[in-house]
Amino acid sequence: MSGNPYQDDRGNNDASITKPGGQSRMTPGTSTQTGGRKEQHTGDAFLIGDSMTGGYGKGPDILHDCTIAVNKGEIAVIVGPNGAGKSTAMKAVFGMLDVRSGSVWLDGEDITDLSPQDRVGRGMGFVPQTQNIFTSLTVEENLEMGAFIRRDDFSDTMAQVYELFPILKDKRKQAAGELSGGQRQQVAVGRALMTKPKVLLLDEPTAGVSPIVMDELFDRIIEVARTGIPILMVEQNARQALEIADKGYVLVQGANAHTGTGKELLADADVRKSFLGG
Ligand SMILES: Nc1ncnc2c1ncn2[C@@H]1O[C@H](COP(=O)(O)OP(=O)(O)OP(=O)(O)O)[C@@H](O)[C@H]1O
Ligand SMILES: [Mg+2]
């Protein structure tokens, strides 16, 4: 994508922004899983964590042949029980975890060996589940920190973040640690947007907020996706998240248990019974 992905194509959720076909590169994501599980069909996705296996340091494997991906113009959601490895899968995609096998692909390039910093340089924005803001800095300073890799004028991007999250403009001189949970999450997402990412990874962006604030945050996330930034996010509010998901992944014990469109997963009897409360 050229220019400013956050500024351009506002509201454009059209298939024309997807990558043109006809590439001759090696295609990731074509491995067939055993045990009757579905193939993941991630071959041409914009961001792919493909068949990732690995854990922390010298510890046991947490991820087992885990595949997650997001297409351009789409929202992909990862759900699953506590401790399933959702955050670990996100960290693996961001390069915070060495995968023993498997690979990570961004816009058709193998980035498995890149550091997290280099992945940010390539256009990955990551909002971790915890400690995702600088609490002692002001809201505005947090956004400025987000722009650390930029050498250009980022005032336009900051104006766009304030347009997306007006409350942050009102509170821009306040310490981020004094904000409500929902407002802090807006700071965290805003900070990630300051790099003008080509893809956004959000780990539980609605954790600990009220249902009303959750709905608002989801609306803003949809708005960001419509600007042309694909979003891969982990959510504990599974039902609501799958309602807005183009693609959904249910992870269980570090492995793909169910994959489908959000609608398919919401309609799947197994998924409903085991993960959505019936
Ligand atoms: N830094 C770490 N070092 C070692 N093990 C870890 C680390 N972080 C997580 N784990 C282990 O990895 C497993 C998966 O944890 P992870 O945080 O990825 O789960 P999750 O699906 O994100 O859970 P939650 O819904 O609670 O956020 C757990 O067994 C956890 O104890
Ligand atoms: Mg987690």
Output the 3-class SS for 155-219. Answer: HHHHHHHHHHCHHHHHCCCCEHHHCCHHHHHHHHHHHHHCCCCCEEEEECCCCCCCHHHHHHHHH
Give the pLDDT mean for 237-246. 95
Residue 33's pLDDT is what? 40
Q: Which ligand is nearest to the CA of 275?
A: 1
Task: Give the right CATH number for 38-123+200-208+231-278 from 3.40.190.10, 3.40.640.10, 3.40.50.300, 1.20.810.10.
Answer: 3.40.50.300
Residue 38 pLDDT > 90, yes or no?
no
Nearest in space to 240 (alpha carbons), one of 269, 219, 270 = 219
Atom of ligand 1 nearest to the CA of 80: 21
Distance 267 CA to ligand 1 centre (A): 28
Residue 12's pLDDT is what? 39
Residue 28's pLDDT is what? 60
Return the minimum-mean-pLDDT range out of 16-25, 37-46, 85-94, 194-203: 16-25
Contact (CB, 8 A) for 77 and 248: yes
Residue 10's pLDDT is what? 36
| pLDDT category of residue 31 using cuts at 50, 70 and 90 | very low
The rounded distance, in Å, linking the Cα atoms of 260 and 40 is 9
CA-nearest residue, atom 9 of ligand 1: 88
The string of pLDDT tens digits covering residues 103-146 is 999 999 999 999 999 999 999 999 999 999 999 999 999 999 98
Q: What is the DSSP letter of 140?
A: H
Contact (CB, 8 A) for 227 and 6: yes
The rounded distance, in Å, linking the Cα atoms of 227 and 242 is 20
The rounded distance, in Å, linking the Cα atoms of 68 and 77 is 9
Give the pLDDT mean for 7-29. 39
Residue 99 pLDDT > 50, yes or no?
yes
SS3 77: strand
Contact (CB, 8 A) for 229 and 199: yes
Could you give the residue ranges of the DSSP H alpha helices within the chain?
A: 86-94, 116-121, 139-146, 155-164, 166-170, 181-193, 211-226, 238-243, 262-267, 269-275
Query: Percent of the chain having pLDDT more than 90?
Result: 77
Distance 87 CA to ligand 1 centre (A): 7
Residue 40's pLDDT is what? 55
Residue 5 pLDDT > 80, yes or no?
no
Residue 227 pLDDT > 50, yes or no?
yes
Residue 15 pLDDT > 80, yes or no?
no
Summary mean pLDDT of the chain: 87
The string of pLDDT tens digits covering residues 183-226 is 999 999 999 999 999 999 999 999 989 999 999 999 999 999 99
- Identify residues whose C-beta is under 5 A from ligand 2, the ion: 86-87, 129
